[in-house]
Amino acid sequence: MNLLDIRNLSIELVNGDKNILAVDKVSLSMKEGEVRGLVGESGSGKSLLAQAIVGVLDDKWHVHADRFHWRGIDLLRLSIAERKALLSRDIAMIFQEPMACLDPTTTIGEQLSEAIDSKSLTGFFWQKQQQQRHSAATKLLHKVGIKNHSVCLKSYPHQLTEALCQRVMIAIALARRPILLIADEPTATMESTNQNQIFRLLSSLNQLKNMSILLISHDLENITHWTKTITVMYSGQFVEAGTTEQIFNKPLHPYTRALVDSNPSANFHLPAKSRLMTLPGSIPILQHLPIGCRLGPRCPRAQQACVKSPTVTNFHGHKVSCHFPLTPMKVSHKVTKRVS
Amino acid sequence: MLVFALRRLNLFIFTMLLLTLLSFSLSFLFPGDAIINISGAINATPSELVEIQKSYQTDRNIFWQYSAYLRHIVNGDLGLSMASQSKISSEVLNLLPATIELSLVALLIAMFVGIPLGFIAAIKHNKPADNIILSVSMLGYSIPIFWLGLLAILTFSINLGWLPSAGQISLLFEIKLVTGIKFIDILLSDSPYKWQAFADASAHIILPACVIAVAPATIFVRLARTSMIEVLETSYIRAARAKGLSFQQIIFRHAIRNALIKIIRHVGLQFANLVTIAMVTEVIFSWPGIGRWLIESIYQRDFTAIHSGLLVLACFIFVVHILTDFIYAALNPLARGNKYGS
């Protein structure tokens, strides 16, 4: 059974008379204990998708989905309040800029202890619940590798570094013992040493506590070290999903191919001072989205059929959404025939 | 925190120096003899005049004259009133507390009505409640204060007869002047009718304070609304929602405090505006405060009273401004620490 199973989720920006489809029918599924990467350029709708899953989008965004299952429970059948209660209990999220995500006027200790579920405390409120909260907060800080807990609990967010703030954010996320942690570019504003520390912390949490992680990033190369499976998005559309080896070694979609090729490490054979491999053009803005496959105008393999949205084809768990998928062209056709 | 306090004190001293410079130059700019303007001794005999000129050091250059003037102010000598020939300092001491009382009560009313209304409007953003609050605040802001004061007297004191229309307290009560602030004096006095006097003083202050509070309250509504909308869109509120806090918890634990930080600095700025409104209102409601006294001295061309009164009122506004700065620092941990290069 899948932990999370989303089929055809669309997010629409309601803007006066014209609606903009920011995320167009994206599917995402996760298994228990899995670390999945969600990769795409900035503006590809990956953060929107994550926020839609947690349910923290504003009123101006409208979310539709054909299927939204969480551990076998159909969330679309529940009321909004029930869904919110269930999701906030089981899913936690950490954001891009940790310092901006902590209330600047409240101490870390207060923010951490208010995230602790009051059900986990014993006794009535006069029986030293404050102390229990404090010790629970201290334990959480130890879990994320902050040893100097007493100083950290007393300080305000602006007195800590970005990496420490992100650790605190992870501690806050862990307070409810979540089953899924969504990390939305957790290291975007950090130096590489701190980045690795955070990633190591996340992967140890995954291994020790069997916590699933959805890791959102724009940097394909960096997250391949930490993820088992990867989903690629482009301009709000689903592109490709598969294991990390499949995506990195045998990409089926021209966009994923370009993404892998644009890495400096993939370009070692190039002569000095020559241009890196990139797709022409840039990601379309939300007001002028192309119809059909949104990669169409930039795609080297685009043909007339691309003005219609491609359907998702499944090659042994390696899903791709393209009319003319890449390498295993002939083989893949045989495979699909056999499957169908 | 100590550095912060010292900085404010420093600012206070320098601003006061500039203010005294202004009021000192006023005595030369007003028509008539500068030494008469500064001391207010219009009926002085030639021998007394020589004495005054000596104490203000008019025979020496302008710098020594200014320092002599400063010495007089520091000693609490603001000169004599040209109209009544009584000491201005004692008049100010009698009148200023009444103005402080009135304007502080009005400020509190404006804050306790305006800020929560603004928060409600922000939470119900783009809904009917928001539009109603916003249009009512626009209406309140555009009403002229003297007209509103007269209308309030007409409705509540003459037609309905609920509240008294003039003065600080009924003449029946004899309250000894200790601090000048009526409520404190009443509580300090040992009169057997203490609580009746207290109720009477409260009834007297309601109408003028409410009239003064209308315009600042509408400004606070708009300030509170915009700052709350801003705060509700920040990432830490989104993170708090993702944490699983309920809406009330988010508002009361995180949003209100951060929104108040943005408002509290404007409170100090708005206070100057409020005192101006209070001066007009004091005239309408015959409130025995410094505003009415100042306006009367303008009518009587009492130049000594004008420049000393301006000095005292400016000083009062500045003290309130510094106090709000301290409240701001108490609410905002970012302002407390010593920052470099600021």
Question: How confident is the model over A213-250, as pLDDT tens digits?
Answer: 898 888 887 788 888 888 888 888 888 888 888 888 88
Task: Residue B333: list chain A partners with CB under 8 A.
Answer: 104-105, 156, 158
Q: What is the pLDDT of residue A236?
A: 84
Residues A211 and A336 both lie in one domain: no
Residues A211 and A263 both lie in one domain: no
Query: Confidence class of residue A338 from pLDDT cuts 50, 70 and 90?
Result: very low
Q: Which residues form the domain of A247?
A: 236-340
- The better pLDDT of the pair A331, B239 is held by B239
We report the CATH number of the domain holding residue A104 as 3.40.50.300
- Best mutation target among A105, A155, A174, A181 (most B Cβ atoms within 10 Å) is A105
A331, pLDDT greater than 50: no
Residues A251 and A216 both lie in one domain: no
Q: What per-residue string of b and e applies to B70-94 under the rule 16 or more CB within 10 Å gives b?
A: eebbeeebbbbbbbeeebbbebbee
Q: What is the mean pLDDT of residues A64-80?
A: 84
- A259-263, B135-139, B169-173: range with lowest mean pLDDT: B169-173
Superfamily of domain B88-336: MetI-like (1.10.3720.10)
Last residue within a domain, chosen from A175, A193, A227: A227
Task: Residue A158: list chain B partners with CB under 8 A.
Answer: 333-334
B58, pLDDT greater than 50: yes
pLDDT tens digit sequence for B187-207? 777 777 778 888 888 888 888
Query: Confidence class of residue B340 from pLDDT cuts 50, 70 and 90?
Result: very low
Query: Confidence class of residue B338 from pLDDT cuts 50, 70 and 90?
Result: low
Cβ of A115 and B239 within 8 Å? no
Q: What is the pLDDT of residue B66?
A: 86
Q: Which is nearest to A31 in space by CA: A208, A213, A224? A: A213
Domain count of chain A?
2
Residues A221 and A240 both lie in one domain: no
How much of chain A exceeds pLDDT 90, in percent?
0
Q: What is the mean pLDDT of residues A291-316?
A: 83
Cβ of A115 and B244 within 8 Å? yes
Q: What is the pLDDT of residue A291?
A: 84
Last residue within a domain, chosen from A173, A192, A227: A227
Q: What is the mean pLDDT of residues A308-316?
A: 83
**Predicted model pTM:** 0.78
Q: What is the pLDDT of residue B109?
A: 93
Q: Is the ipTM of this complex over 0.85?
A: no
Q: What is the pLDDT of residue B113?
A: 92
* Residue A305 forms part of a structural domain: yes
Residues A185 and A208 both lie in one domain: yes
**What is the chain B residue with the closest CA to A174?**
B243
Residues A104 and A222 both lie in one domain: yes
Rounded to an integer, what distance in angstroms lies between the CA atom of residue A244 and that of residue A226? 9
* Residue A295 forms part of a structural domain: yes
Rounded to an integer, what distance in angstroms lies between the CA atom of residue B153 and that of residue B158? 6
Q: What is the mean pLDDT of residues B54-72?
A: 83
Residues A270 and A334 both lie in one domain: yes
The domain limits of chain B are: 24-77, 88-336
How much of chain A exceeds pLDDT 70, in percent?
92
Interface residue B172 vs chain A (CB under 8 A): no
Residues A170 and A39 both lie in one domain: yes
Q: Which is nearest to A138 in space by CA: A114, A109, A167, A115? A: A109
Q: Assess contact for B260 and B331: CB atoms under 8 A.
A: yes
Residue A37 CA to its chain's centroid (Å): 6
Residues A162 and A274 both lie in one domain: no
* Residue A4 forms part of a structural domain: no
Q: Which is nearest to B291 in space by CA: B281, B283, B279, B303? A: B279
* Residue A288 forms part of a structural domain: yes
B 243-282 residues inside an 8 A Cβ radius of A: 243-245, 249, 253-254, 257-258, 261
Give the pairing type, strands A4-15 and A61-64: antiparallel
Q: Residue for token digits 């130096």?
A: A191
**Residues with Cβ within 8 Å of residue A136, at least 6 apart in sequence:** A113, A116, A120, A121, A175
* Residue A44 forms part of a structural domain: yes
Rounded to an integer, what distance in angstroms lies between the CA atom of residue A226 and that of residue A243? 12
Query: Confidence class of residue B342 from pLDDT cuts 50, 70 and 90?
Result: very low
Residues A181 and A325 both lie in one domain: no
Give the pairing type, strands A67-70 and A73-74: antiparallel
- SS3 call for A278: coil
**How many interchain CB pairs under 8 A, A with B?**
64
Residues A175 and A311 both lie in one domain: no
Last residue within a domain, chosen from A169, A195, A227: A227
